[in-house]
């Protein structure tokens, strides 16, 4: 019973088909509170599809997704975000025409209590809530080290900062589970090291459970406590970084089978 309570996310026999293609097949996974779980696999293995199912972009053909005991299968993405799951994207998807601060503020919209009309007429109740929400957003930017850039256009930031802003924007929804889709993509080794420290830090500071997809093995092996390997939509291995590195199935999936 004790351990069951700690399970944050459960994927129960998830299968999704696009036409004739089975992108994810009978995928099961449990993520417990505070864990840092990695999902790896060759290109096209179905990793991002798993994320899209968790965050509601896709509805699985069969199987259930449970978050903190609630069945969230087929929920709309915004309701899933409201429930406490936030994500970043493989190709950075910032609101490029808006400022850094506004990007973070968008994520606080779901917690807004003021009505549409009080915003339209700029009533005192709205003004108070707006300034509280700005203060909160600035505090978050402060914590992730982007406060100096608050007034900059998000699209004009250097790539590494854009990645960081995307994580900050996800944090602003107040999530308990954070999904990171290839956070180190396109980063140099130095930036990756900084990112690893950053991910560990936010997990502790924001009391998060983190589930991430990554191709950069140094990052995955360096910070993940548990790694799941997926290939052609099928789960092929799970274990600690050491176990995964020596697993013959994983090596075969990445490098191809040896010719006997």
166 in helix, strand or coil?
A: helix
Give the whole-angstrom CA distance, residue 80 versus residue 165. Answer: 21
At closest approach, how far in Å is the CB of 2 from another protein?
31
Q: In what order do the strands lie in the sheet with 209-213?
A: 85-87, 177-181, 209-213, 36-40, 226-231, 234-239
Q: Does 109 bind another protein (CB under 8 A)?
A: yes
Contact window for another protein (CB under 8 A) among 30-38, 165-173, 196-204, 240-248 = 165-173
Minimum Å gap between C-beta 129 and another protein is: 8
Q: Is 112 in the site for another protein (CB under 8 A)?
A: yes
Q: Does 249 bind another protein (CB under 8 A)?
A: no
Residue in 25, 73, 173, 209 binding another protein, rule: CB under 8 A: 173
Quick one: CA dihedral 214, 207, 142, 93, positive or negative?
A: positive
Q: In what order do the strands lie in the sheet with 62-67?
A: 21-32, 7-18, 62-67, 70-71
Residue 75 to residues 36, 122, 127, 173, 234: CA-CA distances in angstroms? 24, 32, 32, 17, 24
Whole-number Å distance between alpha carbons of 183 and 163: 7
Q: Does 221 bind another protein (CB under 8 A)?
A: no
List the one residue from 119, 221, 234, 236 that touches another protein (CB under 8 A): 119
Question: Is 206 a residue that touches another protein (CB under 8 A)?
Answer: no
Among the listed residues 31, 36, 50, 81, the single contact to another protein using CB under 8 A:
81
Q: Rule CB under 8 A: which of 60-79 touch another protein?
A: 76-78
Would you call 50 exposed, middle or buried from its count of C-beta atoms within 10 A (0-12, 13-18, 19+)?
buried
What residues have CB less than 8 Å from 144, skipping those under 6 apart? 164, 167, 168, 171, 198, 202
Interface with another protein includes 89 (CB under 8 A)? yes
Using the rule CB under 8 A, give the single segment among 60-68, 108-116, 206-214, 246-254 that binds another protein.
108-116
| Beta strand pairing call for 21-32 and 7-18 | antiparallel
Using the contact rule CB under 8 A, the part of the chain among 25-33, 170-178, 191-199, 230-238 near another protein is: 170-178
Shortest CB 188 distance to another protein, Å:
25
Residue number, 138 or 251, with CB nearest to another protein: 138
Residues near another protein (CB under 8 A) are 55, 57, 76-78, 81-82, 86-87, 89, 93-98, 102, 105-110, 112, 114, 116, 119-122, 126-127, 130-131, 133-134, 138, 150-151, 169-170, 172-173
């Amino acid at each position: 019973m004790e351990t069951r309570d700690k399970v944050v996310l459960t994927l129960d026999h998830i299968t999704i088909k696009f036409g004739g293609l089975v992108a994810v097949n009978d995928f099961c996974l449990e993520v417990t509170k505070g864990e840092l779980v990695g999902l790896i696999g060759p290109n096209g293995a179905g990793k991002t599809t798993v994320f899209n199912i968790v965050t509601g972009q896709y509805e699985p053909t069969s199987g259930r997704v449970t978050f903190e005991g609630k069945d969230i299968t087929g929920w709309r993405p915004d309701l899933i975000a409201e429930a406490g799951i936030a994500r970043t994207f493989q190709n950075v998807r910032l609101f490029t025409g808006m400022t850094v601060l506004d990007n973070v503020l968008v994520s606080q919209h779901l917690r807004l209590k003021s009505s549409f009309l009080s915003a339209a007429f700029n009533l005192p109740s709205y003004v108070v809530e707006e300034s509280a929400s700005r203060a909160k957003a600035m505090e978050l930017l402060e914590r992730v080290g982007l406060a100096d850039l608050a007034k900059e256009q998000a699209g004009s930031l250097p790539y590494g900062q854009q990645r960081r802003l995307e994580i900050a924007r996800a944090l602003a929804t107040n999530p308990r589970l954070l999904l990171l889709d290839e956070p180190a993509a396109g980063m140099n080794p130095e930036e990756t090291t900084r990112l690893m420290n950053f991910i560990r830090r936010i997990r502790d500071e924001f009391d998060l459970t983190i589930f991430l997809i990554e191709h950069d093995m140094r990052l995955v092996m360096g910070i993940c406590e548990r790694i799941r390997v997926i290939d052609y939509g099928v789960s092929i291995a799970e274990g600690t970084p050491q176990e995964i590195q020596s697993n013959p199935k994983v090596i075969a999936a990445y490098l191809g089978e040896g010719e006997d």
